[in-house]
Structure 1
Amino acid sequence: MPLTPVPARPALVVFDLDGTLLDTHVDLVESLNHTIAALDLEPVSYDDLTHLVGQGARVMIERACRLRGHPLESDALPPLVERFVAHYAGNMPGRTEPYPGLVAAMDRLKSQGYRLAVCTNKMESLALGLLGKLELTRYFDAITGGDSFEYRKPDARHLTGTIERAGGDITRTVMIGDSVNDIAVAKNAGAPSIAVPFGYSDVPVNTLNPDRIITHFDELTPEMVETLLREYAEKVAV
């Protein structure tokens, strides 16, 4: 008698945070400008943001100061980070909101048993605080930030560590993001990637060579995830 195939367990879908799950640009810009105002620097704009975000608050502040012609000495950074964190955390959730269709997409996936996680270079405490204020924490089996481990995206261990915390399996994981770090961490870990074009990438996301691009979360369905995982497994097996 032939054996009955064991059905694959539902996958783990891992999201980046800023520019993927949540439109945070207004609050990031306001907190960043509050921070560099302490140095009497000219404010940055949303157009600048795509060149500043992606590596957490420390790097964002350093890049903003350099952009305004004021490179920082190492001892000048900690008080500026504290100023940024205090302003950002104190004003949560501000005008940050989920991207259209996100909550419905997560409901679809959760109803089919899928696990969800967040893998962001934002400080873990800020990610947890923001998702908590927006009442989204309950959706996620793990939420990791840029300080959760000794490494961060695009290091593969940031994603694999998130997968382990979420109880997932790398062969059944998809990474969704808006920037080079997100697509690169998926490639480095050996997982398929989905890019969204509405985030903060400083280059068109198609140039990052993701495995899929979705323009709206209405496209994120269990069927699409399973198709992507199957096609990715076939591709790497060749």
Structure 2
Amino acid sequence: MDINSSARFPFDTIGFDLDGTLLDTSGDLAAAVNHALASIDRPTLTVEQVKPMIGGGARHMLAQGLAATGGCDEATLDILQRRLLDHYEANITVHTRPFPGALDALDELAAMGVTIGIMTNKLEALAARILAELGLADRFACLIGGDTMGIGKPSPVPIQALVDRCGGGRAAFVGDSIYDVQAARAAGLPVVACSFGFLMQPVGELGADAIIDGYGELIPKLARLGGAT
């Protein structure tokens, strides 16, 4: 397939998850979790331990970190969530970088006239700040966070909103978690899973329509998924 021919690429809109899909945010998220844990004298966790906790939003991630180190009541969770978010916001792009090949894939999609958006369970303001600090904000037609619509993935509502805000047409979604797959499926979109993401389970168990091991595979797999000729 000639990737420069937009008429032959099957999708008008591609939505992306952020953490574990476009960006490797694991170092900064693990540091924020450990800051909250250390504030109540809990043992810290490795980045590899934190990775499977990412994807359901900051509170969910922190709750899992606390469960792994002794548990926590809701009142304490409220206090620690604020500590985590404050630390994360102050150190949001210390280690965070795009995954290898991600920007090249975005460039190729844009060159074909594909509209690109992000739907993440991260708070919209934090996601916007990351994109701004990394100089990536202008690449996306829309950004929907876990709080933008009042509900996050696995609800299909924010995925449907992404497609609408990107101008509609035939769409697909790219993510790394069961939340991404469930939300895309419920919204009626085909979904591609990233094997290099922050997996809570083996990537083959997510039920995605296609799997990529690196961004060099994304556009060819989307083309096959969409039945491009």
Mapped contact 2:121–2:146 kept (Cα < 8 A): yes
Partner Cα distance (1:18, 1:217) in 2:
15
Q: Percent identity?
A: 34
Partner Cα distance (1:33, 1:161) in 2:
34
How do residues 65-76 of structure 1 correspond to structure 2 at under 5 angstroms?
65-72=66-73, 74-76=74-76
User: Could you say if the C-alpha distance between residues 99 and 137 of structure 1 is closer, same or farther in structure 2, counting changes exceeding 3 Å?
Assistant: same
| Alignment size in residue pairs | 222
What is the SS of the residue equivalent to 2:192? strand
Unaligned 5+ residue runs, structure 1?
A: 1-5, 232-238
Amino acid at match of 1:37: A
TM-score norm. by structure 1 comes to 0.87
Partner Cα distance (1:9, 1:47) in 2:
36
Cα drift, residue 226 of structure 1: 3.5
Partner Cα distance (2:86, 2:72) in 1:
22
1:127 equivalent in alignment to 2:124: no
What is the SS of the residue equivalent to 1:39? coil
Mapped contact 1:10–1:112 kept (Cα < 8 A): no
Cα drift, residue 145 of structure 1: 0.9
Q: Hey, what does 2:214 align to over in structure 1?
A: 216
Partner Cα distance (1:85, 1:196) in 2:
26
Mapped contact 1:105–1:220 kept (Cα < 8 A): yes
Moved over 6 A (4+): 6-9
Residue of structure 1 aligned with 2:196, choices 182, 187, 198? 198
Q: Hey, what does 1:234 align to over in structure 2?
A: none
Mapped contact 1:10–1:113 kept (Cα < 8 A): no
CA deviations 1:14-46 (Å, max 9, x no partner) are 111111000111111111100111111110112
TM-score norm. by structure 2 comes to 0.91
How do residues 59-138 of structure 1 correspond to structure 2 at under 5 angstroms?
59-72=60-73, 74-138=74-138
Residue of structure 1 aligned with 2:177, choices 179, 199, 206? 179
Mapped contact 1:11–1:114 kept (Cα < 8 A): yes
Cα drift, residue 99 of structure 1: 0.5
Partner Cα distance (1:10, 1:175) in 2:
10
Partner Cα distance (1:124, 1:197) in 2:
25
Amino acid at match of 1:86: D
Mapped contact 2:17–2:174 kept (Cα < 8 A): yes
1:225 equivalent in alignment to 2:222: yes
Partner Cα distance (2:79, 2:62) in 1:
11
Mapped contact 2:13–2:171 kept (Cα < 8 A): yes
More RCO (CA 8 Å, sep 6+) = 2
Amino acid at match of 1:64: G
